[in-house]
Amino acid sequence: MKPNAANVSNEEIQNTQVPLTQARFFAVFDPKSPTDSLSGLSLQLLEEQKQSWPQLAQGYASLATVKLRELQCDGYRVFLQFNPGRIVSTGAKVDERSIRERPCFLCVENLPQPQKGILYGEEFLVLCNPAPIFREHLTISNVNHIPQAIGPFLDTFLSLARDLSPGFSLFYNGARCGASAPDHMHFQANPSGAIPVEKDSGDTTRRELRKRIGDVSLFSLERYGRRVLVLECASKEALQTVLRSTIASIQRLIGTSEEPLLNILASYEPHIWRVILFPRDKHRPDAYFKEGKERILISPAAVDIGGLVITPLERDFESVDAGMIERIFAEVSIEQQMFEEMIEGIRA
Ligand SMILES: [Zn+2]
Dist. CA 144 → ligand 1 center (Å): 7
| pLDDT tens over the chain, length 348 residues | 333 333 334 444 444 444 557 778 999 999 998 888 999 999 999 999 999 999 999 999 999 999 999 999 999 999 999 998 888 777 778 788 888 888 999 999 999 999 999 999 989 999 999 999 999 999 999 999 999 999 999 999 999 999 999 999 999 999 999 998 999 999 999 999 999 999 999 999 999 999 999 999 999 999 999 999 999 999 999 999 999 999 999 999 999 999 999 999 999 999 999 999 999 999 999 999 999 989 999 999 999 999 999 999 999 999 999 999 999 999 999 999 999 999 999 998
d(CA 137, CA 128): 6
Residue 322's domain comprises 67-103+145-344
Dist. CA 185 → ligand 1 center (Å): 8
In a domain, residue 319? The reply is: yes
Dist. CA 148 → ligand 1 center (Å): 10
Q: How many domains does the chain have?
A: 1
Q: Which residues are CB-neighbours of 263 under 8 A, at least 6 positions away?
A: 171, 172, 173, 174, 177, 178, 277, 278, 280, 301, 302, 305, 306
Dist. CA 212 → ligand 1 center (Å): 39
In a domain, residue 121? The reply is: no
Q: Which has the closest alpha carbon to 119: 26, 188, 50?
A: 26
Dist. CA 259 → ligand 1 center (Å): 19
Dist. CA 108 → ligand 1 center (Å): 7
Dist. CA 186 → ligand 1 center (Å): 10
Dist. CA 105 → ligand 1 center (Å): 6
Dist. CA 110 → ligand 1 center (Å): 8
Dist. CA 145 → ligand 1 center (Å): 4
Can you give the pTM of this predicted structure? 0.92
Q: 291-328: b or e for each residue (b if 16 or more CB lie within 10 Å)?
A: eeeeebbbbbbbbbbbbbbbbbbeebbeebebebbbeb
Dist. CA 197 → ligand 1 center (Å): 30
Dist. CA 202 → ligand 1 center (Å): 36
In a domain, residue 331? The reply is: yes
d(CA 202, CA 239): 18
Dist. CA 91 → ligand 1 center (Å): 19
Dist. CA 143 → ligand 1 center (Å): 8
Dist. CA 132 → ligand 1 center (Å): 20
Confidence at residue 20, expressed as pLDDT on a 0 to 100 scale: 54
Dist. CA 343 → ligand 1 center (Å): 34
Neighbours of 95 (CB within 10 A): 9
Dist. CA 295 → ligand 1 center (Å): 31
Dist. CA 147 → ligand 1 center (Å): 8
- CATH at residue 196: 3.30.428.70
What is the rounded end-to-end Cα distance, in angstroms, of the chain?
49
Dist. CA 16 → ligand 1 center (Å): 19
In a domain, residue 199? The reply is: yes
Dist. CA 67 → ligand 1 center (Å): 32
